[in-house]
């Protein structure tokens, strides 16, 4: 049994509002389905994800990072080799690498590189100093190793955008006294407004066939690595601005200067474009337990700024901030206080994992479920 | 016979007015039907889950229960619906948030409304349901704020002027210019919409002959009775957001309640306009029927808050053929 892809529901809404009534009147449709949660058959979900990724690559190529030194195991294999090392060194809970088919030879090459960079030894030390075998500690250990890998790999691969990679070679030749048909500034401007193929042609015409490979930098999930940040957010937002009523910026931590750079950049191209900013879908600031006074003081303390205590979902012209993690932490602690959770842990600094007290929950819902049983019996 | 708990009748006399209480007594006739519909909803869903019966479309030949409208006629547009009023024709940007905060004084609550109406949004849905923390008397604080703001009470105007000043101070620093040029005129720009609580909830402050009273009846009655004159005098529509409707039969029930309320207040049928939230799978099998059942009151669907959790759960109940991406 398969219900249709969410598009089917959209179509039903569309038909329901676009059918005229007896007097020829139509109805309104507000809002859209959540676009980032595809629902449907396996094939349907896979197809929509593929489309979304292709769109992202097209739009983002200025920001995609590639290796300029390719004499290195690819990032994905190195990452999986780390998981494999944890596993073979006794941390059998880590087994994600088993989902991938990587040859022994590729693993051997990756291990050699991990030995050479000292990461294998670091993993040994990390395992020895682990406080416990809890999920949290295991994840923290893996997270630490993954962070170190990213640092070492990016350094050795000399990871950069294509534009920067060519500019670096240009700078080298200019230092040597070579005359080039364009300046580095002109090159950067050219890259920003051209496709990857055009940029590569231009570089070749200047005699630069550089080594730049973005595929070996892809993550185990297949994502390209990008130079994230405000410029990236601005580029994507400018691309959609002509089609959008409002541009909405959302960040994990609030930073007014970032928001200002973003707003100024959008307004430079689209003056007066409506902007919104939020950090959390929570509506009610006070329900987070913060007093008016505390909220008023928080901005200075954290160099946040917010115009007032209202947290609303959409706020044209205005910028509001909230730290979602604190909110969730407080909720989790509340549940602990009510004994609904036995234990809570924060993993990777972001995910709250709670052990639910099943008996307590059962006890609490008992009255309701008894009533419900009676109700059903009556019917 | 209505009973209001503790001293709330006195404390909230500005929203529990004699006219409101008379109208509530009149609307209480619908309480038994609300209870019946919710019991039926629970049983229907349980039976469906137990027998793993998929949701289906209604039989085109039957009548949508208690509406006099045949399902096929509804689908063919053979019913009289609403004309979209002027202040709902442009709703490109709609904001949402409650008009009250937990344990806050009236002035602090009014700041919420001032921000909303000065935001520049085309419409604002003042939430009496999910986004309103339902602690203590918040549902009443929400009504108090809305009544003061809609009536342009001097207390509200003071707060709005202050909020506009604060917004401009902030904006001069951030955008290099003020954003609220004429705060009084700006207050009239945004269309006010109110979300009443769904049929699944009962009010916590009023009882009817010792029994619980539907929160939908209470919310709708308080908002409409307290504000209809001011809204209509200002040339504004009376707009409700109806959440959690699952079937056309339930939509028909809302329709009867609204028509009765309008009749009681001497308003034309269809004066109250409603958006219906689409947030539930079963509902998507009866959309045209829901529109028809709400007749002159219906202006549109809102699909902005698709209920992901319920969908997820339902998907799992439907067996292995249904997948949900983790992305």
Please provide the average confidence, as pLDDT, over all residues in chain B.
91
For residue A118, give the nearest of A80, A87, A156 by alpha carbon: A156
Backbone angles phi, psi at B192, to 5 degrees: -95, 130
- Both ends of chain A: CA-CA distance in Å? 29
pLDDT tier at A250 (50, 70, 90 boundaries)? confident
Of residues B184 and A362, more confidently modeled: B184
Quickly state the pLDDT bin for A99 (edges 50, 70, 90): confident
Average pLDDT of A239-267?
A: 78
Q: Which of residues 14-53 of A touch B (CB under 8 A)?
A: 15-17, 19-23, 25-34, 36-42, 45, 49
Let me know if residue B120 belongs to a domain: yes
**Cα separation, A250 vs B275, whole angstroms:** 28
- Selected residue with higher pLDDT from A264 and B306: A264
B235 burial type by CB count under 10 A (0-12 exposed, 13-18 middle, 19+ buried) = exposed
Structural domain includes residue B272 = yes
What is the C-alpha separation between A149 and A142, in angstroms, rounded? 10
User: And the tokens for A199?
Assistant: 């940029």
SS3 A322: coil
Is the separation of the CB atoms in A53 and A85 below 8 Å?
A: no
Count of CB contacts below 8 A, A vs B? Answer: 208
Chain B partners within 8 Å of A27 (Cβ): 81-82, 84, 291, 298-301
Q: Is the pLDDT of residue A279 over 90?
A: no
Whether B326 maps to a domain, the answer reads no
Q: How far is CA A356 from CA A136, A172, A360, in A?
A: 16, 60, 9
Q: Quick one: pLDDT band at residue A372, thresholds 50, 70, 90?
A: low
Distance between CA atoms of residues A229 and A233, nearest Å: 6
Q: What is the pLDDT of residue A306?
A: 31
- Per-residue pLDDT, averaged over B291-314, amounts to 74
Beta strand pairing call for B238-242 and B272-277: parallel
- In a 3-state reduction of DSSP, which class is residue A120? helix
CA dist., res. A314 & res. B304, Å (int): 12
Chain B residue nearest residue A261, CA to CA: B174
Q: Is position B121 within any domain?
A: yes
Alpha-carbon gap: A211 to the closest alpha carbon of chain B (Å): 33
For residues B266-287, give the mean pLDDT: 92
Chain A, nearest residue to B163 by Cα: A308
- The reply to whether residue A16 touches residue B319, judged by beta carbons under 8 angstroms, is no
Could you give the number of structural domains in chain B? 1
Check pLDDT > 70 for residue A37. Answer: no
- 8 A C-beta contact, residue B97 and residue B190: no
Q: What are phi and psi of B114, to 5 degrees?
A: -60, -45
- What is the pLDDT at residue B134? 76
Helix ranges (H only) for chain A are 6-18, 42-60, 75-88, 104-117, 119-128, 135-157, 162-175, 184-192, 196-205, 230-240, 256-269, 292-302, 324-337, 358-378
CATH number reported for the structural domain that contains residue B312 in this entry:
3.20.20.360
Q: Does residue A294 have a pLDDT over 50?
A: no
Q: Which of A32-41, A276-285, A329-338, B251-260 has the highest mean pLDDT?
A: B251-260
What residues of chain A, 298 to 337, have a C-beta less than 8 Å from chain B?
305, 307-319
Nearest CB to A308 within list B54, B163, B323: B163
The ranges assigned to domains in chain A are 6-60, 70-157, 240-322, 326-379
Name every residue whose Cβ is closer than 8 Å to that of residue B125 and which is 6 or more positions away in sequence.
B94, B95, B96, B193, B194, B195, B241
pLDDT > 50? residue A292: no
Residue B82: how many other CB atoms lie within 10 Å: 22
**Least confidently predicted of B101-115, B157-171, B258-272, B294-308:** B294-308
CA distance A30 to A215: 41
The percentage of residues in chain A with a pLDDT greater than 90, rounded to a whole number, is 33
Q: What is the mean pLDDT of residues A28-34?
A: 65
**Minimal C-alpha gap between B300 and chain A (Å):** 4
Per-residue tokens: B326:
């983790």
For residue B315, the chain A residues in CB contact (below 8 A) are: 3, 39
Give residue B265's domain range.
2-317
- Whether A233 shows a pLDDT value over 90: the answer reads no
A51 compared with A38, residue with greater pLDDT: A51
Share of chain A above pLDDT 70, in %: 66
Whole-number average pLDDT of chain A: 75
Kindly indicate the confidence band of residue A327, based on its pLDDT and cuts at 50, 70 and 90. Answer: low
- Measure A319 CA to nearest chain B CA, in Å: 10
Nearest to A1 by CA among B230, B286, B316: B316
Question: How many Å is the maximal CA-CA distance in chain B?
Answer: 64
pLDDT value of residue A19: 93
Mean predicted confidence (pLDDT) in A240-252: 76
User: Residue A324's pLDDT is what?
Assistant: 36
Copy the structure tokens of residue A89.
């060194």
Those residues whose C-beta lies under 8 Å from the C-beta of residue A36, and which sit 6 or more positions away, are B327
Closest CB to A313: pick one of B88, B91, B97. B97
CB contact under 8 A, A315 and B95: yes
pLDDT mean over A46-53: 55
């Amino acid at each position: 049994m398969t219900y249709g892809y969410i598009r089917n529901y959209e179509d039903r809404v569309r038909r329901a509002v676009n059918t005229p009534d007896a007097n020829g009147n139509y109805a309104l449709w507000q809002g859209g389905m959540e676009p980032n949660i595809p629902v449907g058959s396996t094939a349907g979900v896979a197809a929509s994800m593929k489309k979304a990724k292709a769109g992202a690559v097209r739009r983002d190529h200025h920001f995609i990072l590639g290796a300029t030194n390719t004499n290195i195991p690819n990032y994905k294999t190195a990452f999986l080799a780390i998981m494999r090392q944890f596993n073979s060194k006794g941390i059998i809970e880590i087994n994600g690498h088993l989902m991938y088919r990587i040859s022994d030879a590729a693993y051997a090459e990756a291990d050699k590189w991990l030995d050479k960079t000292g990461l294998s030894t670091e993993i040994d030390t990390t395992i020895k100093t682990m406080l416990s075998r809890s999920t949290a500690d295991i994840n923290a250990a893996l997270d630490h190793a993954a962070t170190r890998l990213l640092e070492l790999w990016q350094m050795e691969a000399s990871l950069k955008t294509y534009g920067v990679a060519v500019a670096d070679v240009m700078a080298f030749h200019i230092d040597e006294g070579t005359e080039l048909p364009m300046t580095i500034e002109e090159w950067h401007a050219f890259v920003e407004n051209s496709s990857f193929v055009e940029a590569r042609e231009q570089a070749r015409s200047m005699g630069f066939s550089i080594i730049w490979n973005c595929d070996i930098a892809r993550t185990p999930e297949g994502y390209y690595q990008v130079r994230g940040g405000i410029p990236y957010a601005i580029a994507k937002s400018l691309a959609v601005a002509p089609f959008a009523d409002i541009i909405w910026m959302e960040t994990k931590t609030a930073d007014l200067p970032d928001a200002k750079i973003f707003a100024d950049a959008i307004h430079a191209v689209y003056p007066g474009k409506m902007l919104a900013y939020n950090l959390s879908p929570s509506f009610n600031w006070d329900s987070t337990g913060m007093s008016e006074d505390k909220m008023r003081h928080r901005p200075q303390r954290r160099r946040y700024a917010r115009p007032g205590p209202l947290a609303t979902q959409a706020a044209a012209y205005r910028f509001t901030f909230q730290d979602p993690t604190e909110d969730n932490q407080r909720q989790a602690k509340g549940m602990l206080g009510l004994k609904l959770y036995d234990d809570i842990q924060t993993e990777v600094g972001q995910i709250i994992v709670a052990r639910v007290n099943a008996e307590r929950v059962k006890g609490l819902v008992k009255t309701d479920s008894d009533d419900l049983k009676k109700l059903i019996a009556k019917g | 016979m209505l009973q209001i708990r503790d001293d709330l009748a006195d404390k909230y006399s500005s929203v529990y007015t004699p006219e409101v209480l008379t109208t509530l007594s009149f609307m209480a006739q619908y309480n038994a039907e609300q209870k019946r519909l919710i019991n039926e909803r629970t049983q229907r869903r349980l039976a469906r889950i137990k027998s793993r019966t998929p949701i289906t479309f209604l039989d085109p030949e039957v009548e949508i229960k208690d509406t006099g409208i045949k399902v096929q006629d509804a689908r063919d547009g053979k019913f009289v619906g609403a004309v979209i009023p002027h202040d709902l024709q442009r709703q490109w940007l709609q904001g949402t948030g409650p008009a009250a905060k937990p344990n806050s004084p009236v002035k602090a609550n009014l700041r919420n409304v001032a921000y909303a109406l000065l935001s520049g949004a085309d419409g604002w849905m003042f939430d009496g349901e999910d986004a309103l923390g339902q602690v203590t008397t918040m549902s009443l604080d929400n009504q108090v704020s809305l009544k003061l703001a809609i009536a342009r009470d001097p207390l509200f105007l003071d707060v709005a002027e202050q909020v506009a000043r604060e917004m401009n101070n902030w904006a001069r620093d951030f955008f290099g210019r003020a954003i609220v040029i004429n705060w009084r005129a700006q207050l009239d720009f945004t269309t006010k919409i109110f979300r009443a609580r769904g049929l699944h909830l009962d009010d916590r402050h009023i009882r009817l002959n010792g029994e619980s009273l539907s929160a939908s009846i209470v919310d709708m009655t308080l908002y409409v009775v307290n504000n209809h004159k001011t809204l209509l005098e200002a040339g504004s529509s009376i707009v409700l957001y109806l959440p959690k409707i699952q079937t056309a039969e339930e939509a028909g029930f809302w329709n009867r309640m609204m028509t009765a309320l309008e009749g009681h207040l001497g308003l034309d049928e269809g004066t109250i306009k409603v958006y219906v939230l689409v947030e539930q799978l079963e509902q998507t099998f009866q959309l045209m029927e829901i529109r028809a059942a709400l007749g002159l009151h219906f202006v549109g669907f809102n699909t902005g808050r698709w209920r992901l959790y319920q969908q997820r759960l339902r998907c799992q109940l439907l067996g292995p053929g249904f997948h949900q991406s983790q992305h």
